[in-house]
Amino acid sequence: MFALDSNILVYVEGVNGASREAAARTLIGQLPLKFTFIPAQALGELYNVLTRKAAWPSDRARTAVLAWRDSFVVAPTTTTTMLEAIDLAADHRIGIWDSVIISVAAETGCRVLLSEDMQDGFTWRGVTVVNPFAEQRHPLLASLLDAAENED
């Protein structure tokens, strides 16, 4: 399973330039829809970036968030995942909101969390953070994408 961090969503929305948008769209196109989800936290972060950094009107940002919600399964933040996120943040000195996303990914049985903003290769409870835009594609990402392609 794959989880998407908010930066991937932001890039698809074109906030960080055309080349990053194209790379993110290509990535999204390679992911198996039935094995890809978005942590609810990432939708909130997307809205925040779109309205604050990109200065989108709130209605436009809401429409983008709803489109993502309608396109992918959204995994909720539960009390259990929040408490685990606090442990993760305290034990590994990771920001709480990144810890929430990692914790939600672990709770759903995710193998790969796609993020450019977190430590590439960090693994916790079976979830590996992978920067999909790194020069060298992470072996786990490559093998899972190959397996997904062969399933189709």
Q: Are 7 and 149 in contact (CB under 8 A)?
A: no
Give 82-106 pLDDT, tens digit per residue: 999 999 999 999 999 999 999 999 9
Pick from 135, 3, 22: nearest CA to 74: 3
Chain segment 99-136, per-residue pLDDT in tens: 999 999 999 999 999 999 899 999 999 999 999 999 88
Residue 16 is classified by DSSP as T
Predicted pLDDT at 143: 86
For residue 99, what pLDDT is reported? Answer: 96
- Residue 22 neighbours by CB distance under 10 Å: 13
Of residues 86 and 142, which shows the higher confidence score?
86
Look at residue 150 in the predicted model and tell me its pLDDT.
73
Residue 121 Ramachandran class (φ > 0 left, ψ -120 to 50 alpha, else beta): left
CATH for 2-151 is: 3.40.50.1010
A 10 A CB-CB count for 27 gives 19
Q: pTM for this one?
A: 0.92
Nearest-angstrom CA–CA distance, 36 and 28: 9
Q: What are the residue ranges spanned by the domains of the chain? A: 2-151
Instruction: Return the pLDDT at 147.
Output: 79
